[in-house]
Amino acid sequence: MNSYGERFRVTTYGESHGLAVGAVIDGCPAGVRLDQEAIRRDLARRRDGAPRQEEDEVEWLSGLMDGLTLGTPLAFCIRNKDARPGDYECLRNAFRPGHADYTYHRKYGLRDHRGGGRASARETAARVVAGAIARQLLPGIGIRAKVAQLGPERESDTRGGIVQCHITGLPAGVGEPLFGKLNAQLAAAMMSIPSAIGFEMGAGFAAAMMTGSEYIDRWNADGTTRTNHCGGIQGGISNGMPVEFRVAFHPVATLPHPVECLTTDGTLKEIAVGGRHDDCHVLRAPVIVEAMAALTILNFEF
């Protein structure tokens, strides 16, 4: 499904080298003056350093009058102006390793072979717009992500890395028990980002190697804790401490040299894929992590 959230529901659409990407946002309150400058700023962060140069101009199709939201669906589109679908002609019948080419083919029987189609990170532009709006609706809550670690730099290769996110100002009591746990929803949100391959709250995997005495966050009398190994969430519900998590991203699978592709007739064939790709997309990931975090939080009642 291409929708995220129930209370503030974002339905994105668009292929990387199709006409446009965009979204419909359902559930935005009425009477809000959207901070278009913040939207542009977040889009610029997402675009920064990308080899493909898009203006990312947001056209608002509905939901606004006199600059104010109407409470009705906010629909927007961002035209793909720097699309070069021809670059991918060689992939019409071939599946790159490390990409979703093969799995989309197996699921749908056909696929958009042009630059990853729907599976491209191009789609995250729509999420970033929605996320910028979500952040505007969460005053007093700070959501900041940054690259915590980068994979090794090698000549002619790509890098992955780890992004760390820190949310301040979230009051205690936000989240749901069981399947609606705030940490579970954050995990799903982060793993929905292209290339995400791991997620951990607070001390995360390291916590598994602590003893209970080392792990538990001891109280201060004001309800804060002296450490934050749990990452600000207990039993799926925020405890008022900063929410902290980390997301691991694997390296971009598109290498800057020929790779062996699987063809639809079942042979292997070396192909130098054209198109323009990042060698380190992790640098552009923090704004996407922030967007998904904002969308996740906004879907909880508080």
Q: How far is the CB of 60 from a copy of itself (least distance, A)?
A: 7
How many residues are listed for the chain in this entry? 302
Footprint (CB under 8 A) of a copy of itself, residues 51-90: 60-65, 68, 70-75, 77
270 binds a copy of itself (CB under 8 A): no
CB of 9 to a copy of itself, least distance (A): 7
Q: Is 272 in the site for a copy of itself (CB under 8 A)?
A: no
Cβ proximity to a copy of itself, 204 vs 274, nearer residue = 204
CB contact at 8 A, 33 and 68: yes
> 142 and 198 in contact (C-beta within 8 Å)?
no
Contact letters for a copy of itself, residues 145-184 (x by CB under 8 A): ----x-xx-x--xxxxxx---------xxxxxxxxxx-xx
Alpha carbons within 13 angstroms on the beta-carbon side of residue 122 total: 33
Contacts with a copy of itself, 103-142, as mask; x by CB under 8 A: xx-xxxxxxx-x--xxx---x-------------------
Q: Annotate 259-283 with three-state secondary structure.
A: EEEEECCCCEEEECCCCCCCCCHHH
Question: What is the phi/psi pair of residue 103, to 5°?
Answer: -70, -40
Q: By rule CB under 8 A, what string of x and - marks binding of each residue 19-38 to a copy of itself? A: xxxx-x-xx--xx-------
Work out which of 50, 90, 138, 207 binds a copy of itself, going by CB under 8 A: 207
Residue 252 vs residues 97, 131, 151, 249, 276: alpha-carbon distances, Å:
11, 23, 11, 9, 12
Nearer to a copy of itself, 41 or 184 (CB): 184
- Strand pairing category for 74-79 and 58-62: antiparallel
Tokens of 30: 């009425």
Query: Of 60, 52, 55, 42, nearest to 120 (Cα)?
Result: 52
* Secondary structure (3-state) at 64: strand
For a copy of itself, the closer of residues 142 and 171 by Cβ is 171
In this complex, which beta carbon is closest to a copy of itself, that of residue 95 or of residue 132?
95
Q: Which stretch binds a copy of itself (CB under 8 A): 38-46, 50-58, 128-136, 252-260?
A: 252-260
Q: CA–CA separation, 137 vs 82, rounded Å?
A: 32
Q: Least distance in Å: CB of 135 to a copy of itself? A: 19
What track of x and - describes contact with a copy of itself for positions 212 through 251 (by CB under 8 A)?
Answer: xxxxxxxx-xxx-x---xxx-xxxxxxxx-------xxxx
Cβ 147 to a copy of itself shortest distance, Å: 10
- Cβ-based nearer residue to a copy of itself, 41 or 118: 118
For residue 115, is it left (φ>0), alpha (ψ between -120 and 50) or beta? left
With binding defined as CB under 8 A, does residue 15 bind a copy of itself?
yes
Among 43, 83, 88, 185, binds a copy of itself (CB under 8 A): 185
| Closest CB to a copy of itself among residues 16, 42 | 16
Classify 84 as helix, strand or coil. coil
Residue selected from 81, 89, 192, 276 as contacting a copy of itself according to rule CB under 8 A: 192
Taking the C-alpha atoms of residue 148 and residue 165, their distance in angstroms, rounded to an integer, is: 9
Q: Identify the three-state secondary structure at position 205.
A: helix
